[in-house]
């Protein structure tokens, strides 16, 4: 009888490699590994042969040599004599600048449109649905080009601002919208630390003050919570919060002598103030309204995902509508809204590479565009470009994973 329950002790046959589940996965993996190795070796040998034929080699030394081209919008100091590496860093900063700006405004548009799509007002609801459908179904590249065309072909040229009876005038005498860019008043410090070159230091000081205010405001709110827990009455925090945010920064600005540089027409062009170039505005605004349409759908879905019973239960507990929103609905809706929101931020960062279509000097246009064409280092440039975007998106998705694990429903 015992022989019946024993497994057959047959000797190992070759066909068992494919038919026996004990060995099959091993066989398939070995085959896959061999195919992968062969494919990589084939690609590498082609690459080596092609490079030898073209007399090239893989080298990153071009990063140190002078770039030799100008960039019209830079956040850090840059001349055509700076290195290619510095041009790439200028590009990275420009990418991050437009990405951050677009993320903020896209969230703004998206939240407003998403909430208004749920409005009681029929007309507003329909208009917002129209906005969402129009912008979601037309490529973002077309939007970028349209807004760039508005910026360059419709805006008046600086010449139109001259004369006694000019064709166009500055908005509030502060902002000038021209086809060379938008000129806005630029802040600067008359009594700043570190003299002429110390402006970065002064701005860091301002930011440090704001960070300090943030922690002070958090402390104040924690204190209010403690008092509420102890006595049941929440002290009024509105005025103290306003003071915490406004007073230190205003005092600092007074000490440093904050002043505004108003753009003015000098000769053929505006000077003074901050110039925001047409390409930046086109990219910023197009990415914002395009992604805003997607975010609007997320926001709507998130709010609809909170079941009506939650709102009713909160109302039955006697919470005011505002507290219902902030304590019950929003925390649950945000759990649905935020993960896709972050992936939309990632999309904005990746779509900002379309800057190359309108000549905004982001990393794709500097490293992947002009540097690549001037040095002919295609492989190195494209690899660096991909590495940059890969690092950014891995960082963002790592952040998202951390957020998801802290926010996910705690099931017990």
The footprint of other proteins (CB under 8 A) covers: 18-19, 25, 28-29, 32-33, 36, 43, 46-47, 49-51, 53, 119-124, 127, 133-134, 136-142, 145-146, 149, 153, 350-351, 353-354, 356-357, 364, 368, 372, 378-379, 382, 385-386, 389-390, 393-394
Based on CB atoms, which residue is closest to other proteins, 124 or 217? 124
**Least CB distance to other proteins at residue 386 (A):** 5
In degrees, rounded to 5, the angle at the alpha carbon of residue 215 between the alpha carbons of residues 111 and 244 is: 85
**Least CB distance to other proteins at residue 365 (A):** 10
**Least CB distance to other proteins at residue 351 (A):** 7
**Least CB distance to other proteins at residue 146 (A):** 5
Based on CB atoms, which residue is closest to other proteins, 122 or 239? 122
Based on CB atoms, which residue is closest to other proteins, 107 or 351? 351
Based on CB atoms, which residue is closest to other proteins, 192 or 302? 302
**Residue partners of 280: CB distance under 8 A and separation at least 6:** 73, 94, 97, 98, 360
Based on CB atoms, which residue is closest to other proteins, 45 or 65? 45
Based on CB atoms, which residue is closest to other proteins, 337 or 367? 367
> Alpha-carbon distance 350 to 389, whole Å?
7
> Alpha-carbon distance 150 to 342, whole Å?
30
Based on CB atoms, which residue is closest to other proteins, 32 or 247? 32
> Alpha-carbon distance 59 to 334, whole Å?
47
275 backbone dihedrals φ, ψ, rounded to 5°: -105, 120
Q: Cβ–Cβ contacts within 10 Å for residue 286, how many?
A: 24
**Residue partners of 335: CB distance under 8 A and separation at least 6:** 407, 408, 409
**Least CB distance to other proteins at residue 398 (A):** 12
> Alpha-carbon distance 48 to 50, whole Å?
6
**Least CB distance to other proteins at residue 336 (A):** 15
> Alpha-carbon distance 4 to 10, whole Å?
14
**Least CB distance to other proteins at residue 144 (A):** 10
Q: What is the DSSP string of 32-97?
A: HHHHHHHHHHHHHHHHHHHHHHHT-----GGGGSB-----SS-SS---TTSBHHHHHHHHHHHHHH
**Least CB distance to other proteins at residue 326 (A):** 20
167 backbone dihedrals φ, ψ, rounded to 5°: -70, -30
Based on CB atoms, which residue is closest to other proteins, 1 or 53? 53
User: Would you mind telling me the total number of residues written for the chain in this entry?
Assistant: 412
Based on CB atoms, which residue is closest to other proteins, 15 or 231? 15
| Helix, coil or strand: residue 261 | strand
Which DSSP symbol is given to 179?
T
**Least CB distance to other proteins at residue 28 (A):** 6
């Amino acid at each position: 009888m015992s022989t019946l329950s024993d497994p057959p002790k047959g000797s190992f046959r070759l066909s068992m490699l494919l038919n026996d589940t004990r060995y099959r996965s091993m066989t398939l993996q070995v085959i896959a590994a061999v195919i992968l190795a062969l494919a990589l070796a084939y690609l590498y040998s082609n690459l080596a042969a092609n490079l030898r034929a073209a007399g090239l080699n893989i080298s990153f030394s071009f990063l140190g040599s002078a770039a030799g081209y100008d960039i019209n919008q830079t956040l850090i100091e840059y001349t055509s004599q700076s290195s290619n590496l510095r041009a790439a860093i200028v590009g990275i900063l420009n990418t991050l600048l437009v990405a951050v700006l677009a993320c903020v405004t896209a969230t703004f548009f998206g939240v407003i449109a998403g909430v208004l799509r749920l409005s009681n007002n029929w007309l507003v609801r329909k208009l917002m649905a129209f906005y969402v459908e129009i912008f979601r179904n037309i490529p973002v590249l077309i939007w970028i080009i349209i807004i760039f065309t508005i910026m360059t072909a419709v805006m008046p040229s600086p010449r139109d601002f001259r004369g006694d009876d000019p064709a166009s005038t500055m908005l509030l005498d502060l902002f000038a919208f021209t086809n060379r860019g938008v000129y806005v008043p630029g802040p600067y410090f008359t009594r700043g630390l570190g003299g002429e070159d110390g402006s970065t230091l002064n701005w860091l000081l301002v930011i440090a003050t704001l960070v300090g205010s943030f922690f002070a405001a958090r402390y104040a709110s924690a204190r209010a919570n403690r008092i509420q827990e102890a006595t049941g009455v929440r002290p009024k925090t509105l005025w103290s919060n306003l003071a915490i945010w406004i007073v230190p920064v205003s005092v600092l600005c007074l000490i440093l002598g904050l002043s505004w540089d108003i753009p003015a027409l000098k000769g053929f062009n505006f000077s003074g103030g901050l110039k925001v170039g047409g390409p930046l505005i086109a990219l910023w605004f197009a990415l914002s309204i395009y992604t805003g349409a997607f975010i609007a759908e997320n926001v709507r879905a998130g709010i609809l995902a909170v079941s009506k019973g939650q709102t009713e239960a909160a109302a039955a507990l006697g919470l005011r509508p505002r507290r219902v929103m902030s304590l019950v609905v929003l925390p649950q809706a945000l759990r649905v809204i935020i993960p896709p929101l972050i992936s939309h931020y990632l999309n904005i960062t990746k779509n900002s590479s379309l800057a190359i279509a309108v000549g905004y000097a982001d990393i794709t246009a500097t490293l992947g565009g002009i540097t690549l064409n001037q040095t002919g280092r295609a492989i190195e440039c494209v690899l660096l470009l991909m590495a940059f975007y890969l690092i950014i998106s891995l960082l963002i998705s790592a952040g998202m994973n951390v957020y998801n694990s802290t926010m996910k429903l705690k099931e017990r």
